[in-house]
Amino acid sequence: MSKNEPEIWDEYRWEEFFRESDKRTEKYSQLLDKYMDHPDRDRIIAEEMGWTHLLDENESKDWIDEFDFDEYEEGEEWKRLTGYEPTAFDDFENLPVYRKAFDFAIDSMKMVDEHLADSDDESVSTFCRTITIPSAKIAGGFGFGFEMDGVGGNIANCKRGLNAANQMLNALYEIGEKELLDRELYLEFYGRAKEVRDELGIYIVELRERFRRGIP
């Protein structure tokens, strides 16, 4: 790579960037909570965050972006072909893997409202916290694109969605073990949750192959 060519980040470099972003986000959230009612809040936070270039500028303070999960190591079961290229779709809402994750999240929220609303079990709380993350991360990854300069960020985002999908699946398994749901209903949602997790894993493998082949 010549000096004039931009550096191509792989998924691991993007994950490092996201982890640093996590730290900054956490620090910002803590400062915002601490100084929320302080009349000089913006100046104090800018100084604490090291944003000195903003002290005399009237810029938006829209800094928070959520990245909730560390990297996930894939299993052998996902190393099969998906049957489609992700770049065949011009909008993330048309991606089959996104649609499956999104539809599952919507149906899960309805199911929780109807059958688990009165439960204070931690497994239910974990399930509710994680069900929307896979589709959100798939959509976020799609925004990075499929060109060489962005596909690493796409993969890193989707891996966070995969981690959330595993958290979701584990929580649902605990819900079943504790018999908090009717068995038939539990099996239906567990099967769908596993499909979301597996297909997202396959999607990541496909994106990695694209990066390895160096498709521009």
pLDDT reported for residue 77: 39
What value does the mean pLDDT take over residues 46-51? 76
Could you identify the residue written with the tokens 């290229």?
85
Task: Find the mean pLDDT for residues 81-87.
Answer: 47
pLDDT digits (tens, 9 = 90+) for 129-138: 999 999 999 9
The two structure tokens encoding residue 154 = 């796409």
* Domain segments of the chain as ranges: 11-54, 84-213
Residue 69 has φ and ψ, to the nearest 5°, of -135, 150
Give the pLDDT of residue 32.
76
pLDDT at 74 exceeding the cut of 70: no
The CATH superfamily label for domain 84-213 reads 23S rRNA-intervening sequence (1.20.1440.60)
pLDDT (tens digit, 9 = 90+) per residue, 114-166?
999 999 999 999 999 999 999 999 998 998 888 888 899 999 999 999 999 99
pLDDT at 76: 37
Distances (CA, A) of 2 to 6, 9, 11: 8, 15, 21
Average pLDDT, the chain: 81
Instruction: Please compute the mean of the pLDDT values over residues 1-28 and round it to a whole number.
Output: 78
**For range 34-41, the mean pLDDT:** 83
Query: Band of the pLDDT at 40, cuts 50, 70, 90?
Result: confident
> Residue 26: which pLDDT band, with cuts at 50, 70 and 90?
confident
Question: What count of other Cβ atoms lies within 10 Å of the Cβ of residue 46?
Answer: 19
- How many Cα atoms occupy the beta-carbon half-sphere of 25 within 13 Å? 13
Q: Indicate if the pLDDT at residue 59 is higher than 50.
A: no
State residue 196's pLDDT score: 96
**Higher pLDDT, residue 139 or 24:** 139
Please tell me which residue, 73 or 104, carries the higher pLDDT value. Answer: 104
Share of residues in the chain with pLDDT > 70 (%): 78
Residue with tokens 């990245």: 67
**Distance from C-alpha of 155 to C-alpha of 161, rounded to nearest angstrom:** 10
Q: What is the pLDDT of residue 80?
A: 39
